[in-house]
Amino acid sequence: MGEIFIGSEAVANGVVTRHELQRWYRPFYPNVHAPRGSIPSLRDRTVGAWLWSKRNGIITGVAASALHGAEWVDDDVAVELLWNSTRPPKGIVVRNERISDDELVWVAGLPVTTPARTAFDLGRYLKRGQALARLDALMRATPFSVEDVMLLAKRYTGARGVARLKAVLPLVDGGAASPQESRLRLLFIDAGLPKPTTQITIYDECGRYVRTIDMGWEDFLVGAEYDGDQHRTSRPQYVKDMRVWPKLAQLRWHVVRAIREDRDDDLVRQAWEAMVSRGWRP
């Protein structure tokens, strides 16, 4: 069959025999089967979670954001469902919460919370830094209205985590191209620096394109870039970087370059000193 299905249903309909089910397939949720030897993807696990709920659950949270096109979602994240169950299996999180018809859409044959309702749930249940990264990714993939999310907060006054959601919503920026960029931006904001602009395009004196940097403060010609592994492992990217940094310096741009191993306080100090040197007054 090569698909995710309910075992008892397939046997009852004559699609497989009970012997074939036991020999060629394995359950990864109760009564939900996949071909033996396969490693279910997030999409497979999401379909399986919905089938486990007897096709009654509504997908929300991180899995819903992935269905809306958000990137940086690992295959092993928990699949969150709006449904009523007291003992969900490992890998599924169930929340018995209200949802209105206008907060539901169908994506690839699955019932999924709308981008606004997905954002509402992400912002309430994730820790601040994780929530911002997930909300940034969702906004980048499927722009949603912050006002619509706030209307949901009014609709569900007293719902768990609404205060946390309201605190992180003003910081959401779909310009962040990775969770690391979201984290770096939040680091600067928490340190007292002005909120940086994302994806700043820089041109030379003749109007020729030079570079789009991850974030920065254009008025002060100070920027910041998170250099992921591709900046070191890709030779073309490395050569491109080596050629562009001197040009940015000629244009008076000071760019803080961050890598995974950097200490947070060192990055903040570099950005702070660059901003002050360019005339910013805390």
Q: Listing from the earlier edge strand, what are the strands of the sheet with 222-226?
A: 197-203, 209-217, 222-226, 254-258
38 vs 235, more confident: 38
Across the range 180-206, mean pLDDT stands at: 97
Q: What domains lie within the chain, and their CATH numbers?
A: 40-171 (no CATH), 179-277 (3.40.960)
Q: What is the pLDDT of residue 228?
A: 72
Query: What is the C-alpha to C-alpha distance for residues 215 and 81, in angstroms, rounded to an integer?
Result: 35
Across the range 258-263, mean pLDDT stands at: 94
Q: At what angle do helices 115-125 and 146-155 cross, to 10 degrees?
A: 70
238 vs 133, more confident: 133
Query: Is residue 225 within 8 Å of 258, Cβ to Cβ?
Result: yes
**Model confidence over 63-109: pLDDT tens digits?**
999 999 999 999 999 999 999 999 999 999 999 999 999 999 999 99
Range 277-281 contact pairs with CB under 8 angstroms and sequence separation of 24 or more: 278/220, 278/221, 278/222, 278/254, 279/220, 280/194, 280/217, 280/220
Provide the pLDDT confidence category of residue 1 given band limits of 50, 70 and 90.
very low
Provide the pLDDT confidence category of residue 240 given band limits of 50, 70 and 90.
confident
Global confidence as pTM: 0.93
Across the range 39-64, mean pLDDT stands at: 97
**Could you count the other beta carbons within 10 Å of the beta carbon of residue 265?**
10
Strands 197-203 and 209-217: antiparallel
Best CA proximity match to 22, nearest among 13, 14, 33, 30: 33
Query: What is the C-alpha to C-alpha distance for residues 163 and 155, in angstroms, rounded to an integer?
Result: 14
Query: Residue 223: what are its φ and ψ, rounded to 5°?
Result: -135, 175
DSSP letter string over 16-45?
Answer: S-HHHHHHHEEEEETTEEEETT----HHHH
Buried-state track 199-232, b at ≥16 Cβ within 10 A, e below 16: ebebeeeeeeebbebbbbbeebbbbbbbbbeeee
* Residue for token pair 């089938």: 51
Query: Residue 231: what are its φ and ψ, rounded to 5°?
Result: -70, -20
